[in-house]
Each structure stands twice: as structure tokens, then as C-alpha cells.
Amino acid sequence: MARVRATCNQCGDTELSIDDVSVRICREDHDGVYLFTCPECGLSHEKDASRRTLDLLVASGAEVVFWSVPMESLIDTGLGPLTHDHLLDFHEKLQDDALLESALGELVDD
């Protein structure tokens, strides 16, 4: 069983079993954090880490949980309700191959 070293804000460096570490990764931007509970004092920690560190933790057997930004927070509520004018604009934009190709390219590049 892999052992990892983590730093507790209260106790300093501590050693944990990989079973005591979990990784949370955002589906949208793929950033993540790792979580552990200090075996000395019982404090729970959530720490930012590089993707390389998170990959190493996962490869060592840490549990992985994926999460998504709630859809409500991605919607621009300032736009108001969808109208026929919005649909007509959208329909016209779909007829423009260059515009569509450009928009799809942005998605692919992302």
C-alpha cells in the first residue's frame, strides 16, 4: 500500500496511507484538489495541487471523484427568456459555414 506525505496546517508533515487521500477533479477545467484527514489531529484538509501531483496520487491508488460546475451557474441569466428572434438569429448563423466552422474550431482547440 502506497504511503504519501502531506502537510497538516496544525501538525506539519504527516504520513498517510493512499486510502486516506482522495482527489476531486472538475470536469470542466480539469483542475483538482486532494483531500485528507490528518491522522494526528483529525482536521480535514483540501489542498490545491498540480495536475502532475494529482496524476501521481491517482496512479498510486487514491480515490477519484469528478464534479461539475452546476449548469445554473453557466447560464447567463441577463439574456432573459428565449424568443423567436433568438431562434431566427441562431438559424441564420447555422447557414454561415465559415462562422460555424470557426465556432467548432474554438471547441476543438479548447
In the complex, which residues of this chain contact Zn ion (CB under 5 A)? 8, 10-11, 38, 40-41
DSSP 26-41: ETTT--EEEEEE-TTT
Of 42 and 78, which has the nearer Cβ to Zn ion? 42
Shortest separation between residue 23's beta carbon and Zn ion, angstroms: 20
Of 41 and 69, which has the nearer Cβ to Zn ion? 41
Shortest separation between residue 20's beta carbon and Zn ion, angstroms: 12
Shortest separation between residue 16's beta carbon and Zn ion, angstroms: 11
Calculate the alpha carbon distances from 70 to 18, 28, 42, 54 in Å.
29, 10, 30, 23
Of 42 and 80, which has the nearer Cβ to Zn ion? 42
Of 10 and 102, which has the nearer Cβ to Zn ion? 10
Q: Give Cβ neighbours of residue 99 (< 8 Å, ≥ 6 apart).
A: 93
Shortest separation between residue 13's beta carbon and Zn ion, angstroms: 10
Crossing angle (nearest 10°) for helices 97-109 and 84-95: 90
